[in-house]
Amino acid sequence: MPDAKLLEVFESPGDEPYVIEHVADEFTSLCPVTGHPDFGTVTVRYQPRPRREGGTCVELKSLKLYYQSFRSEGVFYEAVTNLIRDDLVRLMRPAWLQVRTDWRGRGGIRSVIRADHGDVPAEHRGK
């Protein structure tokens, strides 16, 4: 499975609430049934805890390498989405976090999967 040990963090630069959103347009993994490649966009949105509470942010190069570790893995869309959420929550302990994966269509069907942690504000739900 993908290697969460690739993920790194840095100290949150502030104590006031703010929201971070990272969008990766070139995510790939393999269908565990057919072995064909799946292509999607991964959006991670979160609010770090304040610096005074030990808040951290994910470092982007490490996030890219983590995403790339999925390329040769046979994994369902739902599992990818939940695994990314769980690994990032374990690493950063954010106030809240949302992972959304948008999968390119195959056979006329597109899929969107969301996995939340914590109390995601209303303005970010359903996006």
Q: Is the pLDDT of residue 1 over 80?
A: no
Total structural domains in the chain?
1
C-alpha to C-alpha distances, 108 to 9, 22, 42, 111, nearest whole angstrom:
39, 27, 20, 10
Query: Over the stretch 109-126, which tens digit does the pLDDT of each residue have?
Result: 999 999 999 999 988 877
Q: Does residue 4 form part of some domain?
A: no
Query: Over the stretch 79-106, which tens digit does the pLDDT of each residue have?
Result: 999 999 999 999 999 999 999 999 998 8
CATH number (domain holding residue 49): 3.30.1130.10
Positions annotated as catalytic residues are 31, 38
Q: Does residue 127 form part of some domain?
A: no
Q: Does residue 126 form part of some domain?
A: no
List of residues 6+ apart from 115 with CB closer than 8 A: 81, 82, 84, 85, 98, 99
Q: Which residue has the higher pLDDT, 107 or 53?
A: 53
- Averaged confidence pLDDT in the chain: 95
Q: Does residue 40 form part of some domain?
A: yes
Give residue 107's pLDDT: 82
Q: Does residue 59 form part of some domain?
A: yes
Pairing relation of β-strands 109-118 and 56-58?
unpaired
